[in-house]
Amino acid sequence: MFSTNKLAAQHEIPDNIKDLISNGVSAFDSVNIARAITEFNKAIEIAPDFADTYYYLGETYSIVPGAAARSSRYLKKYLELYPEAPDKAKVTEEIAVLDKAVKTKHNTSLRGIELISLKSGIYVRSINQMAYTNTDFAFDARAGVIAGDKLIKIKDKDITGLPLQTVIDIIDEVPGNKVAVKVIRGGTETFAVMIKTEKNYPENILDLGEEDLSELINAESKPTIVVFWNTWSNEYKDYLAILKDAARDKKDSIRIITINVEENIFTPWLCGINKVPTVLFAKDKKLAGSISGYQPEILKEKISSIDKITDQFNL
């Protein structure tokens, strides 16, 4: 995370984007991340070869759940434009952490929680509080984990020195939807709880983690169905049954991507999603229609005729 004091340009900021950079930094400091992203993107449109803006934008995306791929891409662009950057080693290490998050996020059953592996251990990188909205800790003396917690035990198992994927596997193997953990928080050992959600999908259904949806759509030649959902939606269970049938019946002709809005808040914001479940249809690398709200019969009809969809608009 950066702040006004830490966010110092490596180069002289061009006059025509000074106000945009200043506005972006101020927005970030006031936790208006959407405004910060907008201002930095405007600066890039005006001065696309100014390396520092890509750094600012990459660091902004790095704290947004579900945006690790975009963060990594912008930080890589920063180093591409400024290969002799004095902070190259630090940024390169950060990129490696982000790229690992992209690979591991959708392989875990953790609900709204992202873990990262640092030299000193496994930490909670971020937690989406929406994931705990319907979780009642009144009957449990322990509270949920928070960002910055260092994990030291999963139930009674010491995880010191274990790689991230092994820790994720241990968590996934714990029965039930609550995982008791021991953490170091503020230098003090304490107990906490992590919440799990079931992810029992066919192989050709991808539950989006930290990948960039637009990149996935641009790289896909098959028609793609994108479903936004949340854990407590009973309507989504009906949708999931329909999706599993489609994944089986059309496994060679479509791709299905699910996005849990509890775990990935950036992509729903980018796509203007304000209701779950919502379904987007993409074809020929462009969006080609949508269903807002619970409409299972229309979903079945759209899936059966997905090859005939013709209206298209950019993501």
Instruction: Answer whether 78's CB lies under 8 Å from 85's CB.
Output: yes
15-104 in CATH: which number? 1.25.40.10
Q: What span, in angstroms and rounded, lies between the C-alpha atoms of 187 and 177?
A: 28
Q: What are phi and psi of 278, to 5 degrees?
A: -130, 140
pLDDT at residue number 109 = 61
Could you say which residues of the chain have pLDDT below 50?
Answer: 1-6, 130-142, 312-315
pLDDT at residue number 74 = 95
225 has which bridge partners?
A: 256, 281
Q: Beta-carbon neighbour count of residue 172 at 10 Å? A: 14
Please give the CATH superfamily to which domain 110-195 belongs.
Answer: PDZ domain (2.30.42.10)
Q: pLDDT of 184-236, one tens digit each? A: 999 999 999 988 766 556 667 888 877 888 888 888 888 899 999 887 777 88
205-308 in CATH: which number? 3.40.30.10
Domain range annotation of the chain: 15-104, 110-195, 205-308
Q: How far is CA 96 from CA 75, 207, 255, 258, in A?
A: 11, 22, 28, 25
Q: Which residues contact 17 (CB under 8 A, 6 or more apart)?
A: 42, 43, 46, 47, 50, 53
Token pair of 285, please? 């690398």
pLDDT at residue number 269 = 84
